[in-house]
Structure 1
């Protein structure tokens, strides 16, 4: 029987619980994008309170991206220095930590707001080279792995989307071709670092195609997958909640791949999580908002044997782009 606080493996990483802390916004940088003491304190609370794996708040690949005012930036002059302190804090408490990286708007090679179908081969190679440089910085900063944001509305999720990608070259058409750009990024990162590669990937409208995407990623270098959703209502079928669809799909993925599968978000009750991981092949659950409310709640769960997050799911932290609970 599986339990939330099992000592287990997350790919090549040793973890002490099945809960993955998923980051989102950063509102506690100073004006120069340096990390403040509040940020370091937050990571310390996470690391010493029974989280299995920490994923950082979003790190933007490019400046002037859609959310770059609320994120870290990979090319910040102090990125390696500041985040080496963060990873040292996590490792002091034997907690693996991943750097979450992605971008929404494609503004490269002097071109603005590039659409998927308008990318030239030179543009694709530029993006791939930028990911390799980012991965090396992440490795130098001491991270255990990298989370590639290729789900939700991030740009690379649109490259893989069968409804958006209508290219006729090697980067469009078949499922494999639509995933090819990401596969080449994974291969390049694997060839230049020893980072665990965690891919956050969508359940699209076409479930069979979505499953095939996950299988291709698992067979070509991804070390773990997190299942999330495309942020558009038309991608969901009547009569099923988003959560029910995600559970069913994540379970199907877990049955078809040999790497860890994480169910993304929406659960905050210890008893229900234990029931879910014991009635499906899903082994890991990610959370974001409960940790904004209280970074220490897992320690209370472990001590008491049950519990429910005090997060009210008001979503103010999401809409206000804050990394602290606004109710507090």
Structure 2
């Protein structure tokens, strides 16, 4: 029988009631201390009823890894209660909710960080400036912050974690040969460039256990010569498959290049490549706006789950309508 948007699916131990989820999108409504606010509670609750999963926006694991002056974080125990209010509001709609854990690395907001860091001393652009190449102590410190963020995610009541290794942030920086010129065991070969992601996943698993859903967001193309390609990212994921429950496929962000166009399903080819390499569910995103197109993706096994972002920002009832109208 053909798969369609109304069919349930497993993400690890969690059953999603349909194949449409809410993609994480930055809201820029946090406090100067990176606390979530009433805005976030209302925003996510208003969009939670018809999707089968809500993934909240990028949430900083480190005071040195915040993306914006008004983002949200989970780098102290004080951040837990504001985040728990989001979880409770989404749960009241009968929907599970994941947190997206992020460190900006060289794309951290310069005025917020005491130490702009990356795998190598290579700038994203002139505005961000040249980061310090992370020492082994720096790497250990940030891995520990991911671990503590995972512990706090459990305390806040989240049903799962999405680890952000896309859009040019720290873990993506280590994976891409364009930003990682290290000569130690965190640089060089694909296996070495994957090492930080593996160690962060292991630290998270040490806190949440093997049954708790953990998925990875990746950028499958750097849109630049010498950068990551879909096949290389797919190959990397085969090393990670035993540690993750799903992969959420996006693209870009490592360098200031952007795709030439963003037509319907413009990132779908990347998801379809990765789908050929891994056995965990693959989440596709990128201007997927109709049930008919979503069903085509699922029937042809190009991806297993559809993430909707911008349309839900424009219309809180978008997914309700999408699930009804083919």
1:171 matches 2:186: yes
Deviation readout 1:161-217 (Å, 9 max, x if unpaired): 022212222111111110111101111111111442111111134333222112122
Measure the CA separation in 2 of the matches of 1:146 and 1:255.
Answer: 24
- Corresponding position: 1:199 with 2:216: yes
Rounded to whole Å, the distance in 1 between the matches of 2:48 and 2:118 is 39
Q: RMSD of aligned C-alpha atoms?
A: 2.7
Q: 5 Å matches for 1:246-325?
A: 246-302=267-323, 304-306=324-326
How far apart, CA to CA, are the structure 2 residues paired with 1:79 and 1:137? 8
Alpha carbons 2:167, 2:219 under 8 Å: kept: yes
CA 1:244/1:92 → structure 2, altered by over 3 Å: closer, same or farther?
closer
Which one of 217, 236, 241 corresponds to residue 218 of structure 1? 241
- Asked if structure 2 preserves the Cα contact closer than 8 Å seen for 1:26 and 1:58, the reply is no
TM-score norm. by structure 1 comes to 0.82
| Contact 1:21–1:288 (Cα < 8 Å) also in 2 | yes
Count residues in correspondence: 300
The match for 2:25 is 24
Question: Any stretches of 5+ residues in structure 2 without a counterpart?
Answer: 121-132, 222-227
The alignment partner of 1:266 has SS state of: coil
- In 1, Cα distance between the equivalents of 2:270 and 2:73? 33
Kept in 2, the 8 Å contact 1:60–1:68? The answer is no
Q: 1:230/1:33 Cα in 2 relative to 1: closer, same or farther (>3 Å)?
A: closer
- Sort the Cα spacing of 1:66 and 1:40 in 2 relative to 1 into closer, same or farther, 3 A: closer
Q: How big is the shift at 1:233?
A: 7.1
Instruction: Give 1:33 shift.
Output: 4.8
2: CA distance, partners of 1:241 / 1:268: 13
Contact 2:37 2:82 in 1 (8 A): no
Residue 261 of structure 1, CA deviation? 0.7
CA contact (8 A) 2:35 2:73 kept: no
Matched, 1:183 2:205: no
DSSP 3-state at the match of 1:251? helix
Question: Once the 2 structures are TM-superposed, how far is the Cα of residue 276 of structure 1 from its aligned partner?
Answer: 1.7
Distance 1:19 1:211, change over 3 A: same
Query: Is the Cα contact below 8 Å between 2:59 and 2:74 reproduced in 1?
Result: yes
What displacement does 1:287 show?
Answer: 1.7
Q: 1:207 to 1:14 in 2, by over 3 A?
A: closer
Residue 11 (1) aligns with residue 12 (2):
yes
- Contact 2:26-2:57 within 8 A present in 1 as well: yes
Question: Map of 1:220-235 to 2, 5 A cutoff?
Answer: 221-231=243-253, 232=255
After superposition, the C-alpha distances for 1:280-310 in whole angstroms (9 at most, x for unaligned) are 34111112111111222222233x333xxxx
Mean Cα deviation higher: 69-78 or 94-103: 69-78
